[in-house]
Structure 1
């Protein structure tokens, strides 16, 4: 194992880890944010932090996926870019012939993301990681859980997100 970087130094193993993990990190962030360009921004931020970290290389993928989920959830919760996205899509003329379908799809995605942002962080991260393609074992390793408890957390998270969606659907 190589020596961890000193303060402000970039770790020597960053490039191979970046090449191997970048697609997965972007996918996790995109699952939360729904936009690849924003997911790439999140990945950049996560890799900058990782590049100065002392995280062991063997834990890199789990750490990066968790960091991507947390960073994306923070961005989603802050709503910094949500208004911009909605304005960019706002004009009916730009949506094309299936305007109703596009609006319904965008509204459903917005509702799911908002519900995800209201879940407890561990549940939200578990859902994002699992639906981003990580196995139960990988989710367990990333969240420092036993593999047997991942299913329980996921079931609770799915139940909680359904309740959130139903609660907010009735208030619309």
Structure 2
């Protein structure tokens, strides 16, 4: 294999090949879109390519970076949608969804509510929850977030509880 171009880590390709599916999976859990998750993965691997993170710590670093980046993207989207909805509400010429699309809209809305509630959780809890539900073991979550192995379960349970409270709060304010 030829040497990498200047400024590119020599270990980028093997790390990319080993970690890409997991990184996309973490981002997809947050965003609900594989296409958007692949964009996040590209951004994360570009950052990794410029980093000095040891290859042995790459998987955890990449998963945390994917969760952070996806949560940031989700927050940005939420703010943009709020602005767009405010604009539609003030413009009577704009209509709503077609009646035959009601079920699809409700399902999308529910997924959006979960992702928005996740984005309102404390960052460490949100990332622990996303990583754990993306298939990482307690040991991998602990290593990725710098937690003790014993505190991962507590952090995940607290995150799940906080997520339920956020969802219940949303439901009661509708």
Partner of 1:150: 152
RMSD, aligned α-carbons: 2.0
Structure 1 residue aligned with 2:59:
61
Gaps of 5+ in 1: 1-7
Larger Rg: 2
Once the 2 structures are TM-superposed, how far is the Cα of residue 65 of structure 1 from its aligned partner?
0.2
2-side partners of 1:61 and 1:113: how far apart?
23
Q: List structure 1 runs of 4+ shifted beyond 2 angstroms.
A: 80-83, 90-93
Matched, 1:16 2:14: yes
Give the structure 2 partner of residue 159 of structure 1: 161
Aligned to 1:3: none
Residue in structure 2 matched with residue 50 of structure 1 by the alignment: 48
Cα displacement string for residues 58-87 of structure 1 (whole angstroms, at most 9, x for unaligned residues): 00000000000000000111127964xx9x
Deviations 1:1-23 (A, max 9, x none): xxxxxxx8111000010011001
Tell me how far apart the structure 2 counterparts of residues 114 and 154 of structure 1 sit (CA, whole Å): 18
How many Å separate the matches in 1 of 2:156 and 2:78? 28
Aligned length: 157
* 1:117 aligns to 2:115 (yes or no): no
